[in-house]
Amino acid sequence: MLETWFDPAAIAIVLVGTLVATLLRCGVADSRIAIAALRGLFERAFDVTRAKSELALQIREIADDGFIRAEPHHFGDSEFDSLSDLIISQRSIQSLHGEHQKFKEARLANAQTAVRVFDCAAELAPVLGLAGTLIALGQAQGAAAQDTGLVGAIAMAVVTTLYGLLAANFLFAPLGAAVARKSRQEERDRDAVLEWLARGIRQTGVAGGTPHSEREAA
């Protein structure tokens, strides 16, 4: 029974054909972005708790020393490392949201590109399944003339159509949806951390660049 539904040739026609067709339609650059997004699905998601814990050190240093003497605190996140540099160099939190928006737009653009590539693959998979069906039917005509292999050719025709539908609806489309979900969740989490950071710096009372100790001395 399993042998009836497992056909390596049909798998190659559908999957390899879909990948090649997607690469040709979407281009190498967009395909690389999609591969990176696929890899990201299996990597650790943005950790809100860790980000707040690390940024709390930055807030404490600013509260104690002010913007002038504080040093940027980096913890390996490209966006928030850049924001820490920006806070200290400009001695202000006013430009935080603008810089955050640049990172956000870049991430969203990559996520949208990846989703588009996976959607394209989901669109092409049934087409390649149909192509495999036509190839199998062509073989069936030759087999009928020789009265051999007719059943196998018809089985391959059915299986390739099935593989195309399964690849589209149970592989490529779900991958695109997963990338979109992860992107939305990450942006919500990063927005929340940014607001928390800005609020924390304001609460130190040095948002204008002067530490408590200097104001009290004045």
Going from N- to C-terminal start, the domains of the chain cover: 7-205
Query: Model-level pTM?
Result: 0.85
133 vs 145: CA distance, rounded Å: 19
Is the distance from CB of 173 to CB of 119 less than 8 angstroms?
A: yes
Q: For residue 52, what pLDDT is reported?
A: 96
pLDDT truncated to tens, each residue of the chain (218 aa)?
556 677 888 889 899 999 999 999 999 999 999 999 999 999 999 999 999 999 999 999 988 888 788 899 999 999 999 999 998 888 777 789 999 999 999 999 999 999 999 999 999 999 999 988 888 777 666 555 555 556 666 777 888 999 999 999 999 999 999 999 999 999 999 999 999 999 998 888 765 544 444 444 43
Is the distance from CB of 173 to CB of 122 less than 8 angstroms?
A: yes
Output the CA torsion sign for 193, 185, 40, 29: negative
70 vs 212: CA distance, rounded Å: 13
All residues at 6 or more sequence positions from 4 whose CB lies less than 8 Å from its CB, including other chains? 155, 159
Q: Determine how many CB atoms are found less than 10 A away from the CB of residue 79.
A: 19
All residues at 6 or more sequence positions from 29 whose CB lies less than 8 Å from its CB, including other chains? none
Q: Determine how many CB atoms are found less than 10 A away from the CB of residue 81.
A: 15
Residue 150 structure tokens: 């007719």
Q: For residue 204, what pLDDT is reported?
A: 81
